[in-house]
Amino acid sequence: MNSLPNDSDKRMIPKDQIDSPSIEEGNSSGSLNGGNQVLKKGPWTSAEDAILVAYVKKHGEGNWNAVQKHTGLSRCGKSCRLRWANHLRPNLKKGAFTPEEEQLIIELHAKMGNKWARMAAYLPGRTDNEIKNYWNTRIKRCHRAGLPLYPPNICYQVSCENQQSNHSSDYSYNEKQPDEFLQGGNLDIPDIVFDNYTNNGSLSYAPPFPDIAVSSILSQRFGFQNYALPNPTVCCVERPDETEKVVPASNGTDNDGCPRLDNVLFEPSGKMQESFGLSCLYDPDSSSNSLAHHGGATGSCASLNDTFSASSLIPGTLKLELPSLQYMETDSNSWLACSSTPFDLVNTYVKSPPTVPLQTDCVSPRKSGLLEALLHEAHVLSSAKKEPSEKISISFVTPTDMADCPELSINDSKLVEHKDPVSPLGRSAAFVFNEGTPLISGNFLDELPHPLASSNSDSILVDAEHVSSPNLGEKDISYCRDPFRPDALLGSAWLENSSQNALDHSVFNDAISILLGQDLCYEHKPVPAETSSGVMQGFGLKSCPWNNMPSACQMP
């Protein structure tokens, strides 16, 4: 054990400390503490480190303010603690993050937001400062590259975990031991099964509205049995701690696990907004499409200083932690059109952004043949207007397309069989309801929760191999997996425009009228604007239809 200067000899500064930039020569950067001793600022010297290490070895961590007293170290306790925590404590892992760590960080951030300390707990040997720096760098890279921060697989994975955590209250994400996160399994792209996609924290917003399992209604009315509507956390994941604050999830679901429409429709506190973190996209004034009032300059919602978090939106102050979509440069087709897994794509791209616009590198969505399928499907739908009572096949993939895209063949039968409205292009129910006519105060999306999609367990099955498949199908499935990902929706919107609003609104006018005419319309009318906006800010879908997105978010 190193001997430490005690109180009696605390003025005995080691030689190397004297040699180092000292108090005397650092007056300009120092400050006086209570004892009129100048506290040094700036980089630590090795001598200071040694002193601090010796002190901690002797006295243990904590009581940092005593360091100066006991060692004569001209550093404030805060600085000592920081130095120890970030650089001196044992088992610190130095060097660049490994790919596994990077992915874990992304995943954790999608889950936690800017909770660096908590994230660091899952990364042994890493400090919150490192993670924070990494993330800030990533933000810059993504921003510059015009890519979203979160790969779709991460978004979806997190949403699944949220869901699972609500299924299993005794084993939540947050309770996992850090080691579990680096063992790889958790980082694997899960087999995407939109299974039980209803009982999650997002459903815990439980305003007092009638129990309506919208999915079941839709199923009855339209044969939509498998809305693969992910919970809101898909796009922007609520923070676990926030989740914990809200009403238990059980209040938000029917017994069969279906989300209740009311749960998400009328969240008065803007919780959904927080959860989705899409408020930037939402403009209460639907006519304006302006984003500026949220602090984002037109065409650029996100400033560099905005720390992008999936979740932490502060109502009112709107300290933007924007979802990935809100990188205005984001090419809506970035996910769609590039090969390799989304995660790999992002990380590769982010690390080495191409010097040419991304879209020029990427395959046009048309080349997939899926857009044609979409257009064709939309055309068919537009021809089939006013038939809401009939089953509507909104499988935007024709058998021919399936044949052309073997990647999509998996479970394609289910997609068709169940008349799943989720298109491989992300034309999920978001699309449907966006296209669908508003009811009372705007788009139907104003009122309709995503989690209404009580997708059956077999509604959409997307295997990880397909997700990661570097083929066209994978691109589309990435949307499919994550249909409410803002960028996915943006992409959808883009396609939507391409298809000239092919899907007739009237189909859903009727449907919605049927759905909501008795209960929701009645209940909904008085919803104050704030409430409504809060909800839809959460969804990011309110009066900012995705097909308007290009005007708000200029495509590169």
Partner DNA sequence: AAGGTAATCAACCGCATAGAT
Partner DNA sequence: CATCTATGCGGTTGATTACCT
Which residue ranges make up the site for DNA (CB under 7 A)? 31, 40-44, 61-65, 75, 77-79, 81-83, 86-87, 96, 114-118, 128-130, 132-134, 136-137, 140-141, 144, 305, 307, 309, 312, 319, 321
Minimum Å gap between C-beta 473 and DNA is 32
When the beta carbons of 78 and 367 are compared against DNA, the nearer one is: 78
In DSSP terms, 32 is beta-bridged to 38
Minimum Å gap between C-beta 78 and DNA is 6
Distance between CA atoms of residues 155 and 159, nearest Å: 6
DSSP state of 296: P
Distance between CA atoms of residues 381 and 438, nearest Å: 18
User: 466: number of CA atoms within 13 Å, CB side?
Assistant: 23
- At residue 115, what is the residue type? K
**CA-based Rg of the chain, rounded to a whole angstrom?**
26
When the beta carbons of 303 and 554 are compared against DNA, the nearer one is: 303
Distance between CA atoms of residues 101 and 108, nearest Å: 10
Minimum Å gap between C-beta 69 and DNA is 9
When the beta carbons of 116 and 194 are compared against DNA, the nearer one is: 116
When the beta carbons of 302 and 489 are compared against DNA, the nearer one is: 302
Minimum Å gap between C-beta 544 and DNA is 25
When the beta carbons of 46 and 501 are compared against DNA, the nearer one is: 46
- At residue 274, what is the residue type? E
| Residues in Cβ contact with 27 at an 8 Å cutoff, skipping those fewer than 6 apart | 38
When the beta carbons of 34 and 526 are compared against DNA, the nearer one is: 34
When the beta carbons of 65 and 250 are compared against DNA, the nearer one is: 65
When the beta carbons of 163 and 273 are compared against DNA, the nearer one is: 273
Distance between CA atoms of residues 261 and 211, nearest Å: 7
Minimum Å gap between C-beta 38 and DNA is 12
Locate 460 and state its tokens: 């959409």
When the beta carbons of 63 and 251 are compared against DNA, the nearer one is: 63
CB neighbours (10 Å) of residue 423?
26
544 touches 289 (CB < 8 A)? yes
Q: Which of 363, 361, 423 is nearest to 146 (CA)?
A: 361
Minimum Å gap between C-beta 151 and DNA is 18
When the beta carbons of 275 and 437 are compared against DNA, the nearer one is: 275
When the beta carbons of 79 and 437 are compared against DNA, the nearer one is: 79
Minimum Å gap between C-beta 193 and DNA is 32
Locate 486 and state its tokens: 């803002």
Minimum Å gap between C-beta 62 and DNA is 4
Minimum Å gap between C-beta 29 and DNA is 8
Q: Which is it for strands 192-193 and 461-462: parallel, antiparallel or unpaired?
A: antiparallel
Q: Is 213 helix (H, G, I), strand (E, B) or coil?
A: strand
When the beta carbons of 165 and 309 are compared against DNA, the nearer one is: 309
When the beta carbons of 134 and 433 are compared against DNA, the nearer one is: 134
Residue located via tokens 């990427």:
362
257 touches 212 (CB < 8 A)? no
Minimum Å gap between C-beta 106 and DNA is 15
Distance between CA atoms of residues 368 and 372, nearest Å: 8
Minimum Å gap between C-beta 332 and DNA is 22
Distance between CA atoms of residues 266 and 198, nearest Å: 17
Residue located via tokens 């100048």:
38
478, burial (CB in 10 Å: exposed 0-12, middle 13-18, buried 19+): buried
Output the CA–CA distances (angstroms, integers) from residue 111 to 104, 225, 253, in the order listed: 10, 29, 22
Minimum Å gap between C-beta 362 and DNA is 21
Distance between CA atoms of residues 446 and 236, nearest Å: 17
Distance between CA atoms of residues 474 and 241, nearest Å: 33
Q: Which of 58, 57, 79, 55 is nearest to 67 (CA)?
A: 55
Q: Which of 104, 130, 106, 108 is nearest to 118 (CA)?
A: 108
Distance between CA atoms of residues 349 and 139, nearest Å: 13
| Residues in Cβ contact with 439 at an 8 Å cutoff, skipping those fewer than 6 apart | 446, 447, 512, 513, 516, 520, 521, 524
